Amino acid sequence: MLLEVEGLCVNYGRIEAIRDISFGVPENSVVTLIGANGAGKTTTMKTVSGLHPVRAGKIVFDGEDITNMAAHKRVELGIGQAPEGRGVFPGMSVMENLEMGAYFRKDRKVTVPKDLERVFTLFPRLKERASQAAGTMSGGEQQMLAIGRALMGRPKLLLLDEPSMGLAPKLIAQIFAIIREIHGQGVTILLVEQNAAQALKTADHAYILETGEIVRDGSGSDLAADDSIRAAYLGGD
């Protein structure tokens, strides 16, 4: 397993947002956490990336216990993230945002040009808009930039928090195609989504979160074919 989460509990004050969840992300896989609003998806992501403390449980990445490790150290170890709501630096240009994604790399003089080329190949729009202020880009473009910025750090594990949020159906399909392409390049992906249909299509394995607990898990295709999952998460179609 590249990422192992065991018995994770996370609180906001006295509110138990995550209760004793365990899941694993095997190397080279796409794993998705699916759940309704408030299920605890974002909290789980923030805890894995080190932006929120753990109340109980353990997080192991690449064989190392990272449960209490600072967020920036996790980035250096190879955990990259494109956060919910994009989180790009609005006043900086597209190019500056991408460069920020590589700021911690010691070899960046060598890697940045290569990695920029990779990102621009995945997202030609970002190349066209390289000098535009990130805050003036459309929602879809900002999502692409957030993913591109995370890739600039050459992550082993990419955390994607609701990449399809707020996007038109055509753009959603495009974002998921790019996620599959990034996976094809050897990046392991943990994907959090409300868009269960697309996420199950893309994922090797899926976990269903309900009010802070994992209630089901299975292969993406098995869950997509399951009647109760279809009724609850796929609008019954």
Q: How far is the CB of 82 from ligand ATP (least distance, A)?
A: 14
17 near ligand ATP, rule: CB under 6 A: yes
What SS3 class is residue 155?
Answer: coil
12 binds ligand ATP (CB under 6 A): yes
Q: Is 164 in the site for ligand ATP (CB under 6 A)?
A: no
CB-based contact 153:116 (threshold 8 Å): no
Q: What is the DSSP letter of 93?
A: B
* Helix 139-151 and helix 108-122, axial crossing angle in degrees, nearest 10: 140
- Both tokens assigned to 68: 């209490």
Q: How many residues bind ligand ATP (CB under 6 A)?
A: 12
CB of 15 to ligand ATP, least distance (A): 5
Tell me, what amino acid is at 138?
S
Q: Which of residues 166-205 bind ligand ATP (CB under 6 A)?
A: 194
Binding mask 23-62 for ligand ATP (x = CB under 6 A): ------------x-xxxxxxx-------------------
> What are the tokens at 185?
């390049």
Half-sphere exposure of 181 (CA within 13 A, CB side): 14
Min separation Cβ 12 and ligand ATP, Å: 3
